Amino acid sequence: MGVRNLEFNPVFKAYRDMLNTVYERLLKLKNEGASVEDAVMQEPLADLEAQWGGGIFNGEKWIGIVYPAVY
């Protein structure tokens, strides 16, 4: 399987879509002036936990890592 075939892999597409959703939600909060703590309290990724939260990062930890880099 070549690299170009990754775009057609449904697992990678779902992961890319999830990352885009996370970015859009966190960008909205950042543009509203929310701090990292505010963003964590609002739980903007709660609906993604069932599918994506079983790894080493839950929503709270993911926000803490990613939020400072969202612009």
- The reported pLDDT for the residue numbered 52 is 84
Q: What phi and psi values does residue 63 have, to the nearest 5 degrees?
A: -60, -45
Residue with tokens 């930890």: 61
Measure the CA dihedral 5/10/15/18, to 10°.
130
For helices 10-31 and 59-66, angle between their N-to-C axes, nearest 10 degrees: 70
Q: For the chain, what is the largest distance between any 2 Cα atoms, rounded to a whole number of angstroms?
A: 44
C-beta of residue 35 within 8 angstroms of C-beta of residue 66: no
* Global pTM value: 0.82
Per-residue pLDDT reduced to its tens digit, 9-33: 888 889 899 999 999 999 999 999 9
